[in-house]
Amino acid sequence: MSGGTNGTSNAQDARSIEKNKTFFADNSAYAENVAELDTYRNIRAVIDAQVRGSHRLLDIGNGGVFDYDTSLADSIVGVDLFLDETSVPDLPKNVTLRRGDALALDEGDGSYDRVLLALVFHHLAGRTAMETVANIRQAIKEAHRVLEAGGRLVTLESCVSKRFYAIERQLFRPLTLIAGTPLMQHPATLQLPPRMIADLIGEAFQDVKIERVPIGRWVLQFGLRWPSALTPARPFLITATKS
């Protein structure tokens, strides 16, 4: 994989990868929360509008969970690091799932007219906050590569304020150490401010737009149902176009 900024290599932390696999593989409770909680119904409506009419959609970090109506795209390829280890029954005929790394996609240049990364960026954890940001930048570059000219990038991400991000950065390294133990089931994550994500996307894409997604009473934090009033995280839609 190519190097990131400031000499940072692009690679997810091995412990984080294993924790993601363990937590999300065949996690029916998580899938049910995504389907039922009010915030995720709002997210679904927003993503539906973005994927509607796509001919070839690449869903990166799918995990076997669809945050949208799969009938709205002609053809969907979903990729994730552990999809070869996950049984997803009754897939729609227009959907193919396979193993894939967001940082090094095994997909051809210009193969898709739309790429979706829904609630993925904060899971691309490196060993440090800087490495995590480098991973997000690399994932954006890979999305740009596999999109055709004029194709659209659709990202839906859990974001925090600049002030909270400054705190989260300081706590990230201790969090990764705790996440590597049985004390914490959910993998370590790092949530970024929406403008920071938009700026990273803007390094490769044109016409970057940010839209706040209405939040409901409940969200998922570290995989647990949580009152939205008690968390600083808020969902944002960020879209862009490949020139």
Question: For the segment 45-79, what is each residue's pLDDT rounded down to a tens digit?
Answer: 999 999 999 999 999 998 888 889 999 999 999 99
Q: What pLDDT sits at residue 9?
A: 45
Which domains are assigned to the chain?
5-241 (3.40.50.150)
> Is 13 a residue whose pLDDT tops 80?
no
Tell me the pTM. 0.86
**Residues comprising the chain, all counted:** 243
Q: Are residues 56 and 147 in contact, defined by beta-carbon separation less than 8 angstroms?
A: no
Beta strand spans in the chain (E): 56-60, 75-80, 95-99, 112-118, 147-159, 206-212, 218-221, 224-227, 234-241
Q: Are residues 13 and 126 in contact, defined by beta-carbon separation less than 8 angstroms?
A: yes
Q: Are residues 73 and 94 in contact, defined by beta-carbon separation less than 8 angstroms?
A: yes
Mean pLDDT in residue range 93-105: 94
Output 59 or 31, whichever has higher pLDDT. 59
Q: Are residues 33 and 220 in contact, defined by beta-carbon separation less than 8 angstroms?
A: yes
Q: What pLDDT sits at residue 5?
A: 34
